Homo-oligomer: A and B are copies of this chain.
Amino acid sequence: MPKTVFYISDGTAITMEVLGHAVLSQFDTEFTQRTWPFVDTRERAIEIRDRIDRLFAETGERPIVFYSIVSDEIRQIILSSHGFCHDVIESVIAPLSEELNMAPHPTLHRTHGLNQRNVARYDERIAAIDYALAHDDGLSLRHLEQAQVILIGVSRCGKTPTSLYLAMQFGLRVANYPFIADDMDRLALPPALREQRGKLFGLTINADRLAAIRNERRTASTYASLRQCRLELSEVEALYRRLRIPYLDTTNYSVEEIATRLMDTLGIDRRIF
């Protein structure tokens, strides 16, 4: 039976999940993961402690409990369970506090909370998402001077998810523009893109993977044929090389990796939300 991991937080628990996921991926075993956000009342804490203890009684194995809770009273309830409890944030805070010679001030809803201090930055991030949607798939070539990145590539090579991820995670304003079958005879950049050369980043992908993805959308179409995919990809790759546009083969990369490589290549400072 897979070992159970509980994530217990008085906030969203998102930071802990992300970290826990990285940590668990280093062990060659399966885990069942359960998340309990907003654990900020005695009642909720007791309910969760009882679940941990029931699981322990049933399996004879201590569940893993990753937690981050500001209130001492609530934390003690979780610590009184039979779980193996580890404060994931504290294990980084403690050595840092010593190095800085400064006491930490834990507050509720610190990471993903909205407050006077960060609302302007938050609004910029939402504006970046709006921008990505308004400039998705070549929908609008206006206001490209406001873009920080312009993704280009054939249909279904990863432009849209990458644009949205860059907006959501890093607050970047990203437009994207698709080359379509009709462009292939004389492939060239539209004038609006030529004016923004330094922001262009090309995506490409393996032809077999592209054909498979396109087949999901339009089965057995010319659009999804391997022949068509190969043609389009070889044309756009030739364009990237000719115009010296930096580009990336996305076949084996997640949006996180594409986004990271793109920012690294274009020399974009990462902002953290």
Contact = CB atoms under 8 A, between A and B. Distances in A.
A12 B104 contact: no
Contact of A100 (B3, B88, B122): B3
Interface string A169-198: 100000000000000000000000000000
Interface in A22-42: 22-23, 25-29, 33, 35, 37-38
A91 B92 CA distance: 7
Interface in A85-142: 86, 88-89, 91-93, 95-97, 99-100, 102, 104-107, 109-115, 122, 126, 129-130, 133, 136
A264 interface: yes
Nearest to A106: B26
A38 B106 CA distance: 32
Given A33-B272, A102-B29, A89 B22 contact: yes
Nearest to A256: B112
A243 interface: no
B23 A114 contact: no
Contact of A96 (B38, B64, B95, B164): B64
A183 to B, nearest CB: 23
Contact of A92 (B17, B23, B25, B126): B23
Contacts of A13: 260
Given A92-B19, A111-B21, A14 B256 contact: yes
A171 to B, nearest CB: 12
Size category of the A interface is 35 or more
Nearest to A250: B114
Interface in A20-75: 20-23, 25-29, 33, 35, 37-38, 62, 64, 66
Given A21-B272, A129-B160, A160-B133, A260 B26 contact: no
A164 B167 CA distance: 11
Contacts of A4: none
A161 B12 contact: no
Contacts of A14: 18, 169, 256, 260
A113 B29 CA distance: 18
B161 A129 contact: yes
5 contacts: A23-B92, A27-B96, A27-B100, A91-B91, A115-B252
Given A15-B19, A33-B272, A37-B264, 11 more contacts: A12-B256, A20-B92, A26-B105, A26-B106, A27-B100, A37-B261, A64-B99, A84-B99, A88-B92, A133-B136, A161-B168
